[in-house]
Structure formats: C-alpha cells, structure tokens
Chains A and B, each alone.
Chain A
Amino acid sequence: CSQNVDVRGNEVELETVEVIRPGVHTRSDIVQLIGSPTVMSTFNDKNWYYISRRTQTTAFFKPETIEQQVVTVSFDEQGVVSDVALAGMESKQEVAHVSRTTPTSGHSLTLLEQLFGNLGRFNSGKPVYQAPGGR
C-alpha cells in the first residue's frame, strides 16, 4: 500500500537557486525567479527564507519528514542580493515545545449550554448574533 508523500511550503528547484547571482539581482528579480518568501526575518526584511518540507505519512503515524529545505536569500541595504544559502536535512533539530500558553479570556459555552443551547437556536432560524441595526 503506497504511503502518500506531501510537499509542504515553497519548494524552490535547485537549478533556479544556482541562477541567482549576488550583487546583481534585486528583490523584484528574486520574486520573479522563486516567488515571494515563506517568511522574512523577524524585525527587518533583510533575509528571505523559503522553507519547504517533504513528509511521508503511513496510517495514523505522525508524518515523517523525509526531506527539508531552507533557502535563505539575504539582501544588503540597497536591496541587492548579498548572499544565497541552502540548508537541508542536516540542520533539522528536534525541539521540545513549551506547553504553557498565554492565558486569554472570552466567553466559552458551558457543557449544558452547548448540549441544549443550540437545539432551539438554529432550528428556529433566528440568526445567532447577527450585527443588528441598519449598518
């Protein structure tokens, strides 16, 4: 039985990466060549990151990453390509994510309200909370 392979993110073909010439191409050239980045560096858009991942999923097991590629294109102040870097599977690391999350509020329905709350609400066709008034 064939496991299915999924391609996630923006998988840039390697030949196109070789075409990029630092010192010549500007940001708009890069967008023409390999599209806009998956994510830019956090506080400035100096580095563009093209992140992609190939996963193989069998049955209910967690999708197993069989290939990961990060293409980094860095620009200088004038917006011209200063460097292109390619990182593969070797840079992948298992990270234990912190489970704590920032608390938020918001009205969450109690069990009974959920169970019976909407029996009448939907069937009577009354809109649940439509913004009223002529706006």
Chain B
Amino acid sequence: MTDTAVPVTSRKDWASDQEVRWCPGCGDYSILAAVQLLLPELGVRRENTVFVSGIGCAARFPYYLSTYGMHSIHGRAPAIATGLAVSRPDLDVWVVTGDGDALSIGGNHLIHALRRNVNLTILLFNNQIYGLTKGQFSPTSESGKVTKSTPFGSIDRPFNPLSLALGAEATFVARTHDMDRKHMMATFRRAHDHKGAAFVEVLQNCNVFNDGAFEGLTGRSQREEALIPLEHGQPIRFGHDGHLGVVLDGRTGSLTVAEVAEVGEDAVLVHDETRDDPGLAFLLARLSSSVDQPTPVGVLRAVERPDYGSLVNGQVEEVTARRGRGDLAALLRSGTTWTVD
C-alpha cells in the first residue's frame, strides 16, 4: 500500500515455512512450483496477494505460500473470495480448487462467480478423482470408472470443466497441465493479468488414486499428437509439423480434426480468443470428451467485461458523489419525525 517500487523477490520469498504434505510424486508439486516461480515475476506484493481455497488436496495450497491465505470450507472458496475481492479491490485474490470442490459441492458458487465476473484468478486442479477421501469418483471422472464408491463402474456422465465455465460465460477460460511448467506459468500469468474472473483448468495427475489419467495427453511422447495448443490469431494446428488442423464444418456446425494436407491450410480455423460469442470456444472445449481425443490447451476465451467489484464499488462511489457522504443523524431522521418538548 506504499508508493515505493515493488521489491525484487525470488521463489523462496513466496514459500512459507510449512512442510509440503502432498503425496510424493503428486502433480500438485509442479503446480506449486510454477506459481511460486511466477509470483516474483508478476510485479505484485506479498501483502496484497491472497490465496483462498476450499477443501481437498488442492486446497492445502495456501499453506505453502507466504502470502495472506485462507483454507476454508468445501466448495465455498469462490463465495468467500467474492466477498474479499469485492470489498478489497486493491487485492490480488486467487482461488485454488479441485474437481470435487469446484464442480460438485461448490458448483453453484463457481458458476455465479464466473457469471458475475468477479476479479478472481481461479485455478482448478482436475485429477478426476477424490484424493483426500481416498479414491471415490469425481464429477469429472469418466463414465464406467471403477472406484471404491463405484465397484461396478460409475454411471455418472462427467462435466467438462471448460464447457461449464463457458456456459456461465466466463470472460477468461484456459487449460494447462502439470507436466509443462512453462505452459502453466504462461497460462497463469495471462489469467492473473485478466481483469475479471479467470478460470484455468489444470490437468493434474493423482499418482495414488488415479495415476496416469492424463498420460495419453500429457506424456512427453504423446503430447505432440494429442494436445492442441491454442494461439490467438493463429490457425489451430498441431501434431508433428502441424499436420493436423481444426476445421469448422459449415454444414453440421461442428469442429473436426483433419489432415491439413487434405483440407488445405485455408480451411483451418484461426483461433480468436476475443470473440464476444462464446459459441466457438464452446465447440473447442467440446472437441474432446476423453483423454483419447486431441485436446485443446491454452486460452480458449479472453474477453473484456467490467468486473463485478468495479461495478459494485462504482455504484457506491457514484451514489456517494451524488448524495454526499452519508450522515447518520440525517438517516435516522429520514422518516416522519416529531418532537416532544
């Protein structure tokens, strides 16, 4: 809150003195490293940075940062963070959540935080499993998944987190994964710099209860043919030498993956993350419904909208300017009054 320049910091300045207690080999370690490495680069102050989480493995995240933080209740982090961000627009508020926390018990709070465009950076660690309760299926687990609570296979259909966020018309929607630090840092930086609600799905491996869930996408040997990196203003191509491209089928209104050599370069869709209509981003999010299909990563949507806190505080300022600062004695006399001598 001072005018002096933001001090130069390094990763160690942003790490707390608490021992990290995730299972050895958990994907959360690499996400924590990416965040701790990014924070010194953002030009922000520790005291103005707050991490809020709910419950679950991911929710331990705030304990491992030397910022302000709150480890709250299951699913409620977006609600709690909303109150903080609206009442303290000077703060950088991050929400760290998981697939069960954000999409099951806290689904309502998530969609409304996104709908309102609250100035939050929301990182959803999606490992498609309940880890802290030792291995039940989650709302992103694939149908048929055998877990302790689904010994004959899950009959639930999973949520696609990005479809959900786009359905709520989130202004910033992105996906990254725990095997690519550089991509995580670039994506988190974009999310942080976005004014309004930024939603990032992080594909994260739970090596104890759902090991290798994303191996087909994020494994070093598979990545090139399985992940579709999105770059604003660029044709959406991937695979070795970009031999594959995403094509809009005008007749069916759907997206397909095609050999660029067959359809021609001009047929390949050019990515525009700033499109006002979230429809095309929704199609991109739906391009893949399992780890066996090529899956987009990067920023699907980034549009400008006034953020909720600015609108709330703008009304307060506008009314105060118009009426003058409130006078308590006058408030109490605002109804009919009479005097007894």
Chain B associates with chain A: no
Query: Which A residues lie at the B interface, using CB under 8 A?
Result: none
